[in-house]
Copies of this chain bind each other. A is one copy, B any other.
Amino acid sequence: MKSEKISELTTNRLSIYLRCLNELAAEGSKTVSSDNLAKRFHLNSAQIRKDLACFGEFGVRGVGYYVEDLRQQLTKILGLDHHHRVGIIGAGRLGTALTDYYGFRQTNFEVAALFDADREKIGTVVSDVKIYDVRDFAKIADRQGIDVAVIAVPAEYAQRVLEMIVASGIKAVMNFAPTPLLADEEIKLKTIDLTISLESLSYFLAGSGKNGKE
Task: Name A residues whose Cβ lies closer than 8 Å to a Cβ of B.
Answer: 5, 8, 11-12, 14-16, 18-19, 41-42, 76-80, 82, 84, 93-94, 96-97, 100-101, 103-104, 106-109, 147-148, 171-174, 178-180, 182-207, 209, 211-214
Once A78-B202, A211-B5 are accepted as A-B contacts, the answer to whether A19 and B188 lie under 8 Å apart by CB is no
A193 / chain B contacts, CB cutoff of 8 Å: 15
A172 / chain B contacts, CB cutoff of 8 Å: 201, 204-205
Task: Kindly state the separation between the CA atoms of A116 and B207 in the bound complex, as whole angstroms.
Answer: 31
Contact between B97 and A201, CB atoms less than 8 A apart? no
28 contacts between A and B (CB under 8 A): A5-B211, A11-B203, A15-B196, A19-B178, A77-B203, A77-B206, A78-B199, A78-B202, A78-B203, A79-B205, A93-B97, A94-B101, A96-B97, A104-B198, A107-B195, A107-B199, A109-B202, A148-B201, A171-B204, A171-B205, A174-B198, A174-B201, A185-B212, A186-B209, A188-B200, A188-B213, A189-B214, A191-B214
Given A41-B182, A77-B203, 16 other A-B residues pairs in contact with their CB atoms under 8 A: A15-B200, A19-B195, A76-B206, A78-B206, A79-B202, A79-B204, A79-B206, A171-B205, A174-B198, A185-B212, A187-B212, A189-B214, A190-B197, A190-B214, A191-B214, A192-B197
Closest 6 CB pairs of A and B: A79-B206, A97-B97, A188-B204, A79-B202, A185-B212, A172-B201
Interface majority SS on A: helix, strand, loop or mixed? mixed
Choice from B93, B109, B190, B202 contacting A107 with Cβ under 8 Å: B202
Contact between A82 and B200, CB atoms less than 8 A apart? no
A187 / chain B contacts, CB cutoff of 8 Å: 212
A198 / chain B contacts, CB cutoff of 8 Å: 103-104, 107, 109, 174
Choice from B42, B101, B182, B203 contacting A194 with Cβ under 8 Å: B101
Contact between A205 and B82, CB atoms less than 8 A apart? yes
Contact between B97 and A42, CB atoms less than 8 A apart? no
A19 / chain B contacts, CB cutoff of 8 Å: 178-179, 195
